[in-house]
Amino acid sequence: MSRRHVLSVTVRDEPGVLVRIAGLFARRGFNIESLSVAQTERPGISRTTFVVIGEEETVEQVEKQLQKLVDVIKVIDHSEAPFVDRELMLIRVAVSSPEDRVEIRQIAQDFRARIVDVHRDALIFEVTGDAGKMDAFIDQMLPFGIVELTRTGRVALARSGGQERLQPRHTSFAQTEGLSNA
């Protein structure tokens, strides 16, 4: 059965590691729905999070091929255990009248979206949450006119009890912490 898998891949922060992974996906005909990369608590180690859709066998093969890469330290398929995942979106919404402005701000409040840029003709919101929340917010804004938007792709961590520590903790990086706490 084809379903969505969220894979966390910890990698050595070597030049070209992303190219290796992207190339592997392309070469073996695997499709990536979303991809994000960030540093972890350990210097020199990055975490990439993939969302892939595929049959069980295909995803198993993806994991094995990833694991074969010398720079890949660990592959975790979050779909097999509870996990938290978040995404960040920046979205510029057109404002054509004062009434619209009020309504847009009201909806944004309901979504706990932050205004990060204000202009006479448009507002930029920062929205964080899971993919469903992003899609719902986009739906709400469509009637007003979306000028442009960008999304980070999903990041994920296993819930407590399921996580594997890489080594004794060093400094935390706001980048990843900020996203998952939103």
Partner 1 sequence: MNGAAAVLAALERQGVDTVFGLPGGAIMPVYDALYDSDIRHILMRHELAAAHAADAYYRASGRPGVVFATSGPGATNLVTGLATAQMDSSALVAITGNVASSLIGTDAFQEADVYGITLPVTKHNYLVKSVEEIPRVIAEAFHIASSGRPGPVLIDIPKDVQQAAFSGYFEVTVDLPGYRPTTRGNQRQIARAAQLIREAKRPVMMVGGGAQSCPEAVNEFARITGIPVISTLMGIGAYPYGAPNSLGMPGMHGTVAANRAVTGCDLILGAGLRFDDRVTGKLSGFAPDAKIVHIDIDPAEISKLIRATVPVVGDLGNVLPELGEQVGKLEIDEWWTTIREWKATYPERYRAGERMVSQEVIELLRDESGGGCIVTTDVGQHQMFAARLFTTDRPRSFLTSGGLGTMGFGLPAAIGAAFARPGEPVVVVTGDGSIQMNIQELATVFKHRLPIIVAICNNGMLGMVRQWQEMFHAERYSEVYLADCNPDFARLAEAYGIAGYNISDRASARSIVREVLAKGEPAVLNFEVEEAEKVFPMIPAGAGVGDMIIGDQDPDDVGDLPLGEPEGVGA
Q: Which residues bind partner 1 (CB under 8 A)?
A: 11-12, 15-16, 19-20, 23, 27, 57, 60-61, 64-65, 67-74
Closer CB to partner 1, residue 63 or residue 87? 63
Closer CB to partner 1, residue 72 or residue 131? 72
CB of 58 to partner 1, least distance (A): 10
Closer CB to partner 1, residue 28 or residue 159? 28
Compute how many other C-beta atoms are within 10 angstroms of the C-beta atom of residue 78: 21
CB of 79 to partner 1, least distance (A): 18
What is the separation of C-alpha 111 from the centre of its chain, rounded to a whole number of angstroms? 18
Please give the backbone phi and psi of residue 111, each rounded to the nearest 5 degrees, phi first. Answer: -90, 0
**For residue 5, what is the enclosing H or E element?**
strand 3-12
Alpha carbon separation from 32 to 4, 7, 59, 131 (Å, rounded)? 10, 11, 11, 15
The residues facing 18 across adjacent strands are none
Closer CB to partner 1, residue 12 or residue 119? 12
CB of 62 to partner 1, least distance (A): 10
Do you know the residue count of the chain? 182
CB of 12 to partner 1, least distance (A): 6
The residues facing 72 across adjacent strands are 11
